[in-house]
Amino acid sequence: MRRILRTRTALTALLAAGALGLGAAPADAGTAAEAAVGTATYALDTALSARLGDDTAGSYLDRRTGALVVTVTSDRAAEQVRAAGAVAKRVARGAARLEAAMAALESGAKITGTSWGIDPRTNQVSVEADRSVGARELARLRKVAAAQDGAVRITRVPGTFQREVAGGDAIYGGGYRCSAAFNVSKGTARYFVTAGHCTNSAANWSATSGGPVIGVREGTSFPTNDYGIVRYTDGSAPAGNVNLHNGSYQDIASAANAVVGQALRKSGSTTKVTSGTVTAVNVTVNYGDGPVYGMVRTTACSAGGDSGGAHFAGSVALGIHSGSSGCTGTSGSAIHQPVREALSAYGVNVY
């Protein structure tokens, strides 16, 4: 989903005021659930993951207490986790075992309409198969899963996994509508990041259909990844916030990797702001035109035109919207590209 840039009489004024969902305006404090994941929790999660290696199979937030729970496969790892101030949970499978299960799915069941990722809460690889997966393909998927000795869980989901680009209003390029995720900078240069399947379609981007160019593509990566970057060429320097589509904006102050169990919001040009929970990380999604890796699965709702939009929690940027298998009521399946990977690839920062 890309984030929208709305029209005003003067384009520079529009961008400065946050039409991209990025402009200057009052910030929203975010929900209490989002605020519960503080900077210290993100830092602790990152540090323990690096320190424990294969002695952990991931971490998540306890739904009742909000505490960071870290899965461990040894007593020594459990001691390290407790000493660092997190909760240790002993599990049977380490990172290497779950990664081996995903490798088996990659080699034996790479089927369009499927996705898989690690759910540390169940210590399994969580597989989703959409309605486009036929009986023969589903049987192949189940055969590969059965050989993994309980490490893989399969769920059928409604709809079909697809990139969510659409024709219509918002940010335009190559005849498509997307959404922008976050304004970013490198020195004095200003850019916005969005989905790579959006930036693949066009080099020049406008705030209105057929309107003047406000930015030029400087990088794009899809499939495998799903991120791209556009440099503002109209002389504007928009503020670093996200449009909440209710007259207010959320300031973005930092970026982090999402933690399973945390609440987040998604802002896009079609479904506006929706809320959800992170359910899996290190997710592979097999779109019809190629796979993407290392994604994050959530329960937020989304639809066509939301591609490239912002996934965030309070003032923390988490991801760039990629796609979903649709939304039933308030239960969605929005997938995001971790934004920190894109920031690192292009050497830029949120602000």
Phi and psi at residue 204, in whole multiples of 5°? -110, 140
Tell the residue number behind the tokens 């960071």, with chain if given. Answer: 68
**178-200 exposure pattern, b = at least 16 Cβ within 10 A, e = fewer:** bbbbbbbeeeeebbbbbbbbbbb
**Candidate list 221, 307, 322, 325, residue with the active-site label:** 307
Cα–Cα separations (whole angstroms), residue 95 to 73, 228, 233, 239, 281 = 9, 29, 44, 40, 12
**Candidate list 197, 311, 321, 336, residue with the active-site label:** 197
Known catalytic residue: 169? no
Known catalytic residue: 307? yes
Query: In what side-by-side order are the strands of the sheet with 87-90?
Result: 59-61, 68-72, 87-90
Q: In terms of DSSP bridges, do strands 249-251 and 272-287 run parallel, antiparallel, or are they unpaired?
A: unpaired
CA dihedral 270, 276, 277, 280 (to 10 degrees): -30
Known catalytic residue: 325? no
**280-285-288 Cα angle (round to 5):** 160
**Candidate list 45, 55, 226, 251, residue with the active-site label:** 226
Tell me how far apart the alpha carbons of residues 267 and 189 are, in angstroms, rounded to a whole number: 24
Residues acting as catalytic residues:
197, 226, 307
